[in-house]
Amino acid sequence: MGALVIAEHNNVMLNIATLNAVAAASKLGSVDILVAGHECQAVADAAAQVMGVSKVLLADAGHYAHGLAENLAPLVVQLAAGYSHLLVAATSNGKNVMPRIAALLDVAQLSDIISVVSEDTFVRPIYAGNVLATVQSIDRVKAITVRTTGFDPVAATGGSAAIEKVPPGPDAGLSSFKGEELTKSSRPELAAADIIVSGGRGVGSAENFAIIEKLADTLGAAVGASRAAVDAGYVPNDYQVGQTGKVVAPQLYVAVGISGAIQHLAGMKDSKVIVAINKDEEAPIFQVADYGLVGDLFKEVPALIDALSK
Amino acid sequence: MEREAMEFDVVIVGGGPAGLAAAIRLKQLATEHGHELSVCVLEKGSEIGAHTLSGAVFEPRALDELLPDWKTLGAPLNTPVTEDRFLFLTEKRAFRLPTPPPMHNHGNYIVSLGNVCRWLAQQAEALGVDIYPGFAAAEVLYHPDGSVKGVATGDMGRTKAGEEGANFAPGMELHARQTIFAEGCRGSLTKTLFERFQLRSGVDPQVYGIGIKELWEVKPDQHLEGLVSHTIGWPVDQATYGGSFLYHLENNLVAVGYVLGLNYSNPYLSPFDEMQRFKTHPAIRETFSGGRRVSYGARAISAGGFQSIPKLTFPGGMLVGDTAGFLNLPKIKGSHTAMKSGMTAAEAVFELLRVDDKIGREAVDYPHRLKNSWLWDELYRVRNIKPAFHWGLWVALGYGALDTLVLRGKAPWTFRHTPDHTSLKPAAQCKPIDYPKPDGQLTFDKLSSVFLSNTNHEENQPCHLTLKDAGVPVRLNLAVYAGPEQRYCPAGVYEFVEESGQQSLRINAQNCVHCKTCDIKDPSQNIDWVTPEGGGGPNYPNM
Amino acid sequence: MKILVAVKRAIDYNVKARPKSDGSGVELANVKMSMNPFDEIAIEEAIRLQEAGKAQEILAVSIGSAQCQETLRTAMAMGADRGILVQTDEEVQPLAVAKLLQALVNKEQPGLVILGKQAIDDDSNQTGQMLAGLLGWAQGTFAAKLDVQSETLEVKREVDGGLQTLSLKLPAVVTADLRLNEPRYVKLPNIMKAKKKPLDIVTPSELGVDISPRLKLVKAAEPAARAGGVKVADVQELVAKLRNEAKVI
């Protein structure tokens, strides 16, 4: 009995979050990937390359184009018989579909796991990450969503899985896709960004915040801020990362001119890698930063932008 | 502005021990006499107990009178005091002193006063009291004849700039035949009543202390359930009035706190840092080793006692509990007197309302009854203890012994108080204090402490810490007193920041734990603490 | 149309949770509890639909201990017309919640069910999807905007990187995300009125639902404090570390 990972994709490209889910699945046994979509052969081909994948199941039909849970869930339920574990990355699509699958299978779901203890026991954050729960499932099939920061992605290449076509199920006719407005700006949404650059009171003024934005654009990152910077009026409230703002967990968090008050740390401590740039070497932010750079941000940030642009 | 209004017989402002005891007593009397009586309690905290902070060793005397069967009703008085310790600390050593008689706690209980209030609220609701947490009484309403008509709750949903936001909901008027103000120490409405009705004329100014408290879960081998321990001496000098408490509750919980008189003179003093430093004493620190801090909070207390009690009644209303100032300082207890004053007020109000329907009457029988109760006698006897500290710790201890043991509080003299905001010396005459850096294990910084108080305020609302003159913080406080608000505030609300070479005061109102110290200690009384949106402030569990 | 809204009594969002020292669960004694914030948004949305004439009745449902009545009273003070409490002191996990709601939906026949997208205690983010699956209804999760028509519902959803619009056949299940609306303040007189609105209590066994848990909590622990890393000398070293060691850029 192996694990089936539901691929996250846009019919053209395999979303790399899938590689984190495969990493979690690899700890549980052999891994198959389901690519359900429309005209998505390229995705299946990419999935077949993923390290450690045994088989790619390809279900191609118009009503799978947008990952609608009403259509996708019955398909997975039908395929589930051969698997002990069903996994998907905890993206908005993954979170949307997996509980529906679990309910149809009459099994519980384990949400947002960050580590695998054994084949039936997992660790997942609860209470906004303030508590880590180790949870054991008694169900035959474990339905799981995987928090991507919990697992290093497996290599996207090096595998050579066979691709097997599976017959699509019917269109449930319950829902239809109308459109999508992806955020136009090159800058991603704070809550979903892989990289975030945040500025604090050390930035000094609203005008100076441009330097933070420039670094963010260089990294393709979202822009965040500490409450001190928001309170000081440098940026609007919705930039705020922290206990009373957004709780984020990107791959890379760059804190610039942020002292690291606990309210701020509460909002970003689950980031995979934290970088701090601050002139005060005693600043608490350095106690959580993987890489700390002590220096004047008005000198270091432009230098960093330069170095990154090379 | 047109506001909706609701009518009650009695409106009580504040859901602490005094307000809830008053509510319960009113309903008991109404039931006894078969009288319809509507009683409403307003509480600015998000729930009853959310803003309640006390040591606390609880003397059950008033509770015994109010609800004699409190045990069967499940009152959370779970930890009888088993031992009293009284220590004098020097920097390195601790000396056991005989426990002063007022601090003998046999028969008392170590409690979370917040949990006691939660339980009292249940009793009150069972008797038919309407309790509304999350609504702050923001304004006193008056009849044309000048008598109190009730209170209005604050507007909800005003923006930072004071404009009506998308979800704006105007405040409500609550009209009452009698309004009982039970706001706790330094009530913001009480302050306006003092002025309007000249309630403080002929009495001493109120004086205050700030109490800072932490709740710890300690290792079982450090826990001695029922132990009550107090210290005086280090870390403050003998001219400063301060002392600690350490109470061992149930479930390996230890409440530790430090109370400091707000008449201190060195503007560099930081009550918060004194509290942190206190925990590092060799005789104390072991208690916390391997434990974890689970909560934090601070609150001012009224310490003036007998000679600072204001006139208690005015047409249409009265003051009960610590907003009037019934704390017994040598006992360091005020919940039993707060409750007793609430109960006594309730009895007077009930008699008044039974007689006639006239509005705006004054419950003059309340102070009369109070003067004939044990509360008055208790406060009279200890009236000279706190002022004696004016001469320093040792004289005060000596005087305290003489006054308590020999004179038994019946000395033919009464010492006077001076207001706390006048006691600061200019910074130039004082030495900065070098406090140790927090280690994150035993000692902490202010922000990680506020974090544990679960404090929050809706961000987009007018600042509730208002300045009469925005220039005073830099011109006077910073220039002369080195910005004492940065240090006396236990929540990091006040910060002087430099922007383009100019100093300015930043007020992080969101951090405010509603302790009221700034309203008390600001040297020119420039800070006026007003109620923020209801529900804002700390959310203390088990404090 | 009748709208059913599920509301959960959860730890207040201002309160920091901590595990019990023996790891057996989360310390909740005397901690402030409130309606789960996302459920408040769900109730608000239902009220707005009612105010816009799209719904006739709003039924609030809560599941749990007797104290959940307070949560239902809050929902009714906001504007819900009546409440049902499925009362139990047992732990009720998302699948069981979905089954209980399914049973109530079958009884009450609402045209729309709105839930919060997740509760801020267990952070499961499952119940709405599970309920939709059990009912065989369409689901509009993480809703940022609703447009209810006669037979269908157009829902804008918060998805990674933007917004997606779906058309759902009614009846449907919707879960509310943060930007759907900003809940109103509860007014004092409405709290008094809410005390008089009907509140029925049923039990899981009366609804014929087995709520026995499928997941067992082995341990609740505090996350390990993040250890500080290294100080880098300059930006060149920083970029090199980010590229070669951390591999995040």
Per-residue pLDDT band for B499 (boundaries 50, 70, 90) equals confident
The residue of chain B nearest to residue C225, with distances taken between CA atoms, is B440
Q: Would you say residue B497 has pLDDT above 90?
A: no
Give the span between the Cα atoms of B453 and B491, in whole angstroms.
10
ipTM of the complex model: 0.95
What pTM was computed for the model? 0.94
Enumerate neighbours of A (3 or more CB pairs within 8 A).
B, C
Q: Which residues of A touch C10 (CB under 8 A)?
A: none
- Residue to substitute from A13, A127, A184, A186, interface C, most C β-carbons within 10 A: A127
In sequence order, what are the beta bridge partners of A59? A36
Which pLDDT score, from 0 to 100, does residue A184 have?
A: 65
Look at C30 and B49 and tell me if their CB atoms are within 8 Å: yes
Angle at CA of residue B418, ends B414 and B421, nearest 5°: 160
Q: Residue B313 is inside which H or E element, if any?
A: strand B313-314
Average pLDDT of C77-97? 98
Instruction: Kindly give the pairing relationship between strand C172-176 and strand C162-169.
Output: unpaired
Per-residue pLDDT band for B102 (boundaries 50, 70, 90) equals confident
Instruction: Using a CB–CB cutoff of 8 Å, tell me whether C90 touches chain B.
Output: no
Instruction: Using a CB–CB cutoff of 8 Å, tell me whether B459 touches chain C.
Output: no
Instruction: Using a CB–CB cutoff of 8 Å, tell me whether A132 touches chain C.
Output: yes
Chain C nearest C-alpha distance from A56 (Å): 25
Q: What is the largest CA-CA distance in chain C?
A: 69
Chain A nearest C-alpha distance from C22 (Å): 13
Q: What is the largest CA-CA distance in chain B?
A: 70
Contacts of residue B419, Cβ cutoff 8 Å, sequence gap at least 6 = B205, B206, B207
Phi, psi torsion values for C162, nearest 5 degrees: 160, -145
Chain A nearest C-alpha distance from B180 (Å): 35
First to last CA, chain A: 48
Q: Domains plus CATH for chain B? A: 5-54+115-205+306-381 (3.50.50.60), 79-112+206-302 (3.30.9.90), 443-529 (3.30.70.20)
Look at C30 and B454 and tell me if their CB atoms are within 8 Å: no
Instruction: Using a CB–CB cutoff of 8 Å, tell me whether B499 touches chain A.
Output: yes
Chain C nearest C-alpha distance from A296 (Å): 11
The residue of chain A nearest to residue C152, with distances taken between CA atoms, is A175
Which pLDDT score, from 0 to 100, does residue A185 have?
A: 65
C-alpha dist (Å) from residue C200 to A49, B111, B117, C33, C59: 57, 37, 29, 21, 11
Contacts of residue A299, Cβ cutoff 8 Å, sequence gap at least 6 = none
pLDDT digits (tens, 9 = 90+) for B363-418: 999 999 999 999 999 999 999 888 887 777 777 777 777 777 777 777 778 888 89
Per-residue pLDDT band for C186 (boundaries 50, 70, 90) equals very high
Strands across the sheet containing A121-126 = A115-118, A121-126, A131-137, C215-221
* DSSP label at residue B537: B
Average pLDDT of B518-528? 98
Look at B499 and A205 and tell me if their CB atoms are within 8 Å: yes
- Which class would CATH give C2-244? alpha beta
Look at B460 and A237 and tell me if their CB atoms are within 8 Å: yes
CA-wise closest residue to A199 among A176, A222, A174, A218: A222
Q: Which residues of A touch C244 (CB under 8 A)?
A: none
B385 near B409, Cβ under 8 Å? Answer: no
For B171-200, the three-class secondary structure string (H helix, E strand, C coil) is CCEEEEEEEEECCCCCCHHHHHHHHHCCCC
A31 near A45, Cβ under 8 Å? Answer: no
What burial class does residue A282 get, using C-beta atoms within 10 Å of its C-beta: 0-12 exposed, 13-18 middle, 19+ buried? exposed
Q: Residue B450 is inside which H or E element, if any?
A: helix B446-451
Which pLDDT score, from 0 to 100, does residue A186 have?
A: 66
Q: Which ranges of chain A would DSSP assign to H, the alpha helix?
A: 17-26, 41-49, 69-79, 92-105, 210-219, 227-231, 262-268, 297-309
Angle at CA of residue B470, ends B456 and B491, nearest 5°: 30
What burial class does residue B520 get, using C-beta atoms within 10 Å of its C-beta: 0-12 exposed, 13-18 middle, 19+ buried? buried
Average pLDDT of C175-196? 94
- Residue to substitute from B38, B116, B168, B454, interface C, most C β-carbons within 10 A: B454
Neighbours of A40 (CB within 10 A): 24
Closest Cβ–Cβ partner in B4, B174, B451 for C16: B451
Chain A nearest C-alpha distance from B510 (Å): 10
CA-wise closest residue to B214 among B385, B451, B520: B451
What is the number of helices (H) and of strands (E) in chain C?
6, 13
Give the span between the Cα atoms of A181 and B123, in whole angstroms.
55
Q: Which amino acid is at B173?
A: E
Instruction: Using a CB–CB cutoff of 8 Å, tell me whether B449 touches chain C.
Output: no
First to last CA, chain B: 39
Look at C222 and A131 and tell me if their CB atoms are within 8 Å: yes
* DSSP label at residue B331: T
Look at C131 and A133 and tell me if their CB atoms are within 8 Å: no
Instruction: Using a CB–CB cutoff of 8 Å, tell me whether B292 touches chain A.
Output: no
Give the span between the Cα atoms of C4 and C58, in whole angstroms.
6
Residues belonging to chain A: 310
Strands across the sheet containing B57-58 = B57-58, B109-110, B79-80
Give the span between the Cα atoms of A72 and A40, in whole angstroms.
15
Quote the crossing angle between the two packed helices B17-32 and B335-355, to the nearest 10°. 40
Look at A262 and B499 and tell me if their CB atoms are within 8 Å: no
Chain B nearest C-alpha distance from C28 (Å): 9
The residue of chain A nearest to residue B497, with distances taken between CA atoms, is A201
Please identify among residues 154-183 of chain B the ones whose CB lies closer than 8 Å to any CB of chain C.
156-157, 166-167, 169, 172, 174
Which pLDDT score, from 0 to 100, does residue A270 have?
A: 87
- Residue to substitute from A231, A234, A235, A279, interface B, most B β-carbons within 10 A: A231
Would you give the distance in Å from CA A214 to the centre of its chain?
Answer: 24
Which pLDDT score, from 0 to 100, does residue C36 have?
A: 97
Which pLDDT score, from 0 to 100, does residue A182 have?
A: 79
Contacts of residue B153, Cβ cutoff 8 Å, sequence gap at least 6 = B42, B135, B136, B137, B138, B171, B172, B174, B534, C188
C104 near C136, Cβ under 8 Å? Answer: no
pLDDT digits (tens, 9 = 90+) for A146-183: 998 899 999 999 999 999 999 999 999 999 999 998 76
Chains A and B: how many Cβ contacts under 8 Å? 23
Chain A nearest C-alpha distance from B457 (Å): 10
Chain B nearest C-alpha distance from A263 (Å): 7
Which pLDDT score, from 0 to 100, does residue B333 have?
A: 94
| Token pair listed for B472 | 């005073």
Would you kindly state where each structural domain of chain C is located, as residue ranges? Answer: 2-244
Chain A nearest C-alpha distance from C153 (Å): 9
In sequence order, what are the beta bridge partners of B297? B213
Closest Cβ–Cβ partner in B447, B497, B508 for A262: B447
Contacts of residue C70, Cβ cutoff 8 Å, sequence gap at least 6 = C9
Q: What one-character-per-residue DSSP string does B491-507 give?
A: T--EEEEEETTEEEEEE
Neighbours of C219 (CB within 10 A): 17
Enumerate neighbours of B (3 or more CB pairs within 8 A).
A, C
Q: Which residues of A touch C26 (CB under 8 A)?
A: 126-127, 131
Closest Cβ–Cβ partner in A130, A137, A274 for C17: A130
Give the span between the Cα atoms of C113 and C6, in whole angstroms.
8
| Token pair listed for B217 | 């879960």
Per-residue pLDDT band for A220 (boundaries 50, 70, 90) equals very high
In sequence order, what are the beta bridge partners of B146? none
Q: Which residues of C touch A219 (CB under 8 A)?
A: 249
Contacts of residue B347, Cβ cutoff 8 Å, sequence gap at least 6 = B25, B29, B366, B369
Instruction: Using a CB–CB cutoff of 8 Å, tell me whether C244 touches chain B.
Output: no
Look at A180 and C132 and tell me if their CB atoms are within 8 Å: no
Which of A59-63, B506-510, C214-218 has the least mean pLDDT? B506-510
Contacts of residue A125, Cβ cutoff 8 Å, sequence gap at least 6 = A112, A114, A131, A132, A133, A147, A270, C123, C223
Which pLDDT score, from 0 to 100, does residue C104 have?
A: 98
pLDDT digits (tens, 9 = 90+) for C13-59: 999 899 999 999 999 999 999 999 999 999 999 999 999 999 999 99
3-state SS class at B414: coil
Please identify among residues 237-296 of chain A the ones whose CB lies closer than 8 Å to any CB of chain C.
251-252, 266, 269-270, 272-275, 281, 286-294
Which pLDDT score, from 0 to 100, does residue B380 have?
A: 93
Please identify among residues 52-81 of chain A the ones whose CB lies closer than 8 Å to any CB of chain C.
66, 68-70, 73
Give the span between the Cα atoms of B378 and B374, in whole angstroms.
6
Residues belonging to chain B: 543
pLDDT digits (tens, 9 = 90+) for B195-242: 999 999 999 999 999 999 999 999 999 999 999 999 999 999 988 989
The residue of chain B nearest to residue C184, with distances taken between CA atoms, is B167
